[in-house]
Amino acid sequence: MEGVGRAPARTEADIRAVLAELGRRAPSADDVLSELRAAGPRRRGTSPQLPGQLRTAGPHRRRIARLGWPQLAVSAAAVATAVALALTLGGSPSRTGGGPGIFPVLPNPPASADGPPVIVPSGHHPSSAELAKAMLTAFSAAADDLVYWTTDDFRAGHLIQTTRTWSWPAIPRPGQVQYNRDVFSAIPRGASEAMGSVKLTEDNGYVTVTPHPSRYGQDEPARLTMVCYAGTGQVGCGGGRFDTPAGTWSEDTGVMPYIDYRPSPRGADLARQIARGQWRIVGHPLLRGQRAIKLAQTRSGTFEGHPVFLWVSVATYLPLRMIWVYGKFTEVDNWYYLPPSKANLAHLRVPIPPGYQRSG
């Protein structure tokens, strides 16, 4: 449904003016050059394609479809679920009119959540069209599940950052309260990527009311809890209203820009891509103890020929894993659609580390 968002209030000239102002804050070229001369011949990253060269995979290709998601989770973002601290966790979130006031105590979970029905008979290898159809049905059936989603990023085989995300319900409906948590770990600042290991950096919870789809940015009542971990070299998390110094936690409740926490790519988008031939079935391996359909993205797909693989469960027709390879970068995503049991929903809580003081 379009047109529900608020009327635009800014013009393109405002954007130009703000960007020009930013440009005027640039550091001095002399400083950059002098530091560069002192830095020595370090090398990192890749260069774009020179005329006449074949394009090589590079870091700029990584996380193509994912960039917006976690960034939002941080910048404004990572809002939180302190809510959850006070909640009695359980079953489906109730629908609300979207007004403030709003974060209800969660009802008890349903008696069972056995997952969506199997659409294709066991032992049958579905075609891409059958698979896409089965996946769409499966996503609908899993709408009220808790989706747990992990992302691990590797550079040259070394794990450099991880994100763990819980989001419930998996497909929130407009007006429905949604609960999210995002835990981010990275190699501490200054540590070698090759030698260092990732360390817990930030833990955010975000509870909000799901808006109707709109072409405009939307504000919704929300509650953001942010724990910014110390000891990773960072000085703070978030910014502005959500500024949280390292070693503290904060909570902000009010009307905030809506952040879409759902995993990307969207399940329904994946199914449509499969139906359109942007993926081809390349195998039927076992993964995480279950039979799976392995797909490889074709050159017509979103990622323009870079190796991307997807595993879909034969039992549930929900995605299990996706691996993206961009040169020396690899991202591994795993999805888990979980019944909204009390134990599973407990993961939506953001634990406050002992000794951490509230800073906002």
Partner 1 sequence: MTFEDFAGARLQAVLRFATALTGDPDLAKDVVQEVLIRVSSRWQEIGQLDHPEAYIRKMVVNEYLSWRRRSWRLIPSGTSSHLPGRPSPDPADGYVERQALLAELAKLSRRQRTALVLRYYEGFSDAEIADVMGCTRSTVRGHVFKALAALRVELNQPLTITAPRQETR
For the beta carbon of residue 131, count every other beta carbon within 10 angstroms: 23
CA distances from 306 to 207, 297, 302 (A): 35, 8, 9
State the residue for tokens 């081809």: 280
Instruction: Work out whether 244 is an interface residue with partner 1 (CB under 8 A).
Output: yes
Instruction: Work out whether 142 is an interface residue with partner 1 (CB under 8 A).
Output: no
Distance CA 71, CA 241 (A): 16
Residues numbered 160-179 forming contacts with partner 1, rule: CB under 8 A: 160-161, 171, 173-174
Binding mask 192-211 for partner 1 (x = CB under 8 A): ---------xx---------
Q: Which is nearer to partner 1, 133 or 294 (CB)?
A: 133
Instruction: Work out whether 9 is an interface residue with partner 1 (CB under 8 A).
Output: yes
Q: Which of 110, 113, 276, 23 is nearest to 295 (CA)?
A: 276
Residues numbered 96-135 forming contacts with partner 1, rule: CB under 8 A: none
Stretch that binds partner 1, among 84-92, 103-111, 226-234, 311-319 (CB under 8 A): 226-234
Instruction: Work out whether 141 is an interface residue with partner 1 (CB under 8 A).
Output: no
Q: Which of 236, 287, 332, 356 binds partner 1 (CB under 8 A)?
A: 236
For the beta carbon of residue 281, count every other beta carbon within 10 angstroms: 17
Q: Which of 181, 223, 262, 321 binds partner 1 (CB under 8 A)?
A: 262
Q: Which is nearer to partner 1, 107 or 174 (CB)?
A: 174
Q: Supply the minimum distance, in Å, between the C-beta of residue 17 and partner 1.
A: 7
What tokens appear for 202 in the block? 């930030």
Instruction: Work out whether 3 is an interface residue with partner 1 (CB under 8 A).
Output: no
Q: Which is nearer to partner 1, 153 or 333 (CB)?
A: 153
Stretch that binds partner 1, among 27-35, 120-128, 293-301, 335-343 (CB under 8 A): 27-35
Distance CA 134, CA 120 (A): 7
Using a 10 angstrom Cβ sphere, with 0-12 exposed, 13-18 middle and 19 or more buried, the burial of residue 199 is middle
Residues numbered 58-77 forming contacts with partner 1, rule: CB under 8 A: 58-62, 64, 67-72, 74-77
Q: Which is nearer to partner 1, 161 or 165 (CB)?
A: 161
Residue 186: strand pairing partners: 161, 199
What tokens appear for 253 in the block? 């409740």
What tokens appear for 309 in the block? 């693989």
Instruction: Work out whether 277 is an interface residue with partner 1 (CB under 8 A).
Output: no
Contact yes or no for 161/184 (Cβ under 8 A) = yes
